[in-house]
Amino acid sequence: LTICGCDCLLSAEWKSSNKIIARSGPCKGRGDIIVTTRSGGQGTSTVQFRGYHETIGPMKESAVWVEEAPVQSFVWGRRALSPTNYQQEDPLGLSVEGNDNKKFPEDELCELFGESNGELTSDKFHPGWFLLQHHHATTLDDLKAGLAYLRRKVNSQKEGQLSFLKANVGSVMEQLETIVLLKEQFEADVKKFGDDPTVKLESAIKTSMVEANKIFDDVLARRDRADATRSALSVMQRYRFLFCMPVNIEKNIKRGNYDLVINDYARVRNLFGNTEVEIFKQVLVEIEKKIDTLREILRKKLEETPFALERQKKIIRNLVNLEAEGDPAWDAIVSHAAYLDKNITTCLQDFFDMADEKNGKSNNLTPISSDRLRMYRNDVNCNVPARVLCIEAICDVVTEQLPDLWRLGQSYFTGQLHVTVDTEKQIPFKNLVLSCIQHASEAMKESCSSSLSPAWLLHSLRSVRQMYAALIHLDLPSDALDIFGKFLFELRLQCLVALFKQTSDNVA
């Protein structure tokens, strides 16, 4: 016989083929009742049995003490005893399995009974609340049987008090003897140690602690210093990456490893950005100072001689990753345009000064104009006029630098520079480009003097046309091309006038 998985064969008593009496054993919870015979083998169960562990509730008589509340932990570290888990048994002796599936609404109970409740130990206990809460699905016959059970239970408790004492007389007498002995011992301790016997004990403990501290003060101090040093070394070793970060940033900046600095900086911010440790905050402040220095270096690089387009994009991306203030991409565009204007002005000034050998030395030559000046000085037989060289230099400056400026602007407005695109800057960018082109056109007009021979005018015209052909492929706005187109028309007209004049002079 197996009940809820427990073998109950020893307590089983065979009554008939339809009846077996047995104790359920230490089973708990819902389970099957399985009968196994030699002839029929293992059977099946059509019903289920639920086993409960008997608990001593507040209304249950017991001859021994039952823990009713959790015991607090003592000061000297003893663990508290675990409290008894009470399970309130039904006073009517009825099962509540059918009522557990669907509980009576608590809101309706509050409306019916007001501030009462269904707790048996409460002062506001109401039997109607209890019955609706636990037995709303119980039949009337079962309730009558439960009432009869309750009456029998009350009567048996009234009649069974004397028998309870007789049955547990040993436990009761042992408890009385213990109480008497405890009372005598307590009275003896009061006479011997006074009303507060712990004062002397507390004083002795404090004195022993003071003496112990005197003996071990030096040892404890050295141990504390050693622990502090060990802890500091451990922290430094564990967070070596953070503490070495300022020095590593400075070294990598000198080497030009900006990408490595940015990656390390992002890693530090992710790991220690929200730290509350004071020493970490100090290191982060030092790191921020180094990063500010790097931001200034990158900004100065953008403002200096423009690099190749890809190099400029990389510097802009680095500034964006470093969360630099302002708009690095737009600053690069403005700097590039200013540099182009400066080169055009310098070309015009340097090549006019070069016409006079006394003023041929200039300290502000652009790279292109310097090359042409060096070539002009090395070639003894070169008779190229300074104005023609000026036009060629301006054409070279525009051909080499204007495409980079235009592509940089297009990259900015198409979102390739990893910055927030400001569409309102399209008109200012267009004005920058037109301003540079207008400046170049006016500078070349100033260089094209009427004193130039038709041959040199044609030579200058070819240089300007080559520059114009290179700019056509950039998809520049029509306004920009119209400026050079108008200048080309005027230069052609000037060439024709010079040719006609030369022909007329030759005929005359």
Tens digits of per-residue pLDDT, 97-134? 666 666 778 888 888 888 888 887 788 888 888 888 88
Q: Return the CATH class of domain 2-51.
A: mainly beta
CA distance 351 to 363: 13
**Can you read off the two tokens belonging to residue 128?**
């109607």
pLDDT at 479: 79
The structure's pTM equals 0.48
First to last CA, the chain: 145
pLDDT at 180: 94
Three-state SS at 220: helix
CA distance 26 to 39: 28
Confidence check: pLDDT of 222 > 80: yes
Sequential DSSP letters for 117-185: B--TTSTTB-HHHHHHHHHTT--HHHHHHHHHHHHHHHHHHHHTHHHHHHHTHHHHHHHHHHHHHHHHH
Rg (CA), the chain: 52
CA distance 329 to 411: 9
Is residue 56 very low, low, confident or very high in pLDDT (cuts 50, 70, 90)? low
CA distance 8 to 32: 13
**Residue-wise pLDDT tens digits, 294-343:** 888 888 887 776 667 778 788 888 888 887 787 888 888 888 888 888 88
DSSP code of residue 125: B
For residue 304, give the amino acid letter.
E
Sequential DSSP letters for 339-358: HHHHHHHHHHHHHHHHTSGG
Opening angle at CA 317, ends 312 and 320, nearest 5: 130
DSSP code of residue 90: P
**Residue-wise pLDDT tens digits, 2-30:** 888 888 887 788 888 888 888 776 677 88
Range in 37-51, 199-213, 447-461 the model is least confident about: 447-461
Confidence check: pLDDT of 365 > 60: no
Percent of the chain residues topping a pLDDT of 90: 3
The residue that leads in pLDDT, 448 or 73, is 448
Is residue 181 very low, low, confident or very high in pLDDT (cuts 50, 70, 90)? very high
Mean pLDDT for all residues in the chain: 78
CA atoms within 13 A on the CB side of 389: 24
The residue that leads in pLDDT, 381 or 80, is 80
Q: Are strands 13-16 and 6-7 parallel, antiparallel or unpaired?
A: unpaired
Sequential DSSP letters for 182-200: HHHHHHHHHHHH-S-THHH
Confidence check: pLDDT of 216 > 70: yes
| Closest by Cα among 174, 104, 159 to 135 | 104
Is residue 476 very low, low, confident or very high in pLDDT (cuts 50, 70, 90)? confident
The separation between CA 423 and the C-alpha centre of its own chain, rounded to angstroms, equals 32
**Residue-wise pLDDT tens digits, 435-457:** 888 888 888 877 776 666 777 77
CA distance 5 to 133: 32
pLDDT at 500: 76
DSSP code of residue 5: T
Residue with tokens 């500091």: 232
**Can you read off the two tokens belonging to residue 170?**
């040993």
Q: What are the φ and ψ backbone dihedral angles of 30, each rounded to 5 degrees?
A: -85, 140
pLDDT at 450: 60
**Can you read off the two tokens belonging to residue 59?**
């209304």
Cβ neighbour number for residue 47 with a 10 Å cutoff = 6
**Residue-wise pLDDT tens digits, 247-297:** 888 888 888 888 888 888 888 888 887 888 788 888 888 888 888 888 888
The separation between CA 255 and the C-alpha centre of its own chain, rounded to angstroms, equals 32
Q: Residue 381: exposed, middle, or buried by beta-carbon count in 10 A (0-12, 13-18, 19+)? A: exposed
pLDDT at 380: 39
Is residue 381 very low, low, confident or very high in pLDDT (cuts 50, 70, 90)? very low
Q: Are strands 2-3 and 6-7 parallel, antiparallel or unpaired?
A: antiparallel
Q: What are the φ and ψ backbone dihedral angles of 48, each rounded to 5 degrees?
A: -120, 150
Q: How far is CA 383 from CA 272, 375, 457, 491, in A?
A: 69, 12, 14, 22
- The contacts found for 314-321 with CB under 8 angstroms, 24 or more apart, are 316/417, 316/418, 316/419, 317/417, 317/418, 318/258, 318/259, 318/262, 319/295, 320/417, 320/418, 320/419, 321/262, 321/266, 321/418
CA atoms within 13 A on the CB side of 408: 31
Task: Find the helix packing angle between 328-354 and 367-378, rounded to 10°.
Answer: 20
Is residue 369 very low, low, confident or very high in pLDDT (cuts 50, 70, 90)? very low
DSSP code of residue 424: G
Residue range 182-188: mean pLDDT, rounded: 91
* Rounded (to 5) percent helix, strand, coil in the chain: 65, 5, 30
Note the maximum CA span of the chain: 162
Report domain extents, the chain.
Answer: 2-51, 226-303, 327-360+382-507
Q: What are the φ and ψ backbone dihedral angles of 29, each rounded to 5 degrees?
A: 95, -175
Confidence check: pLDDT of 357 > 60: no
Is residue 378 very low, low, confident or very high in pLDDT (cuts 50, 70, 90)? very low
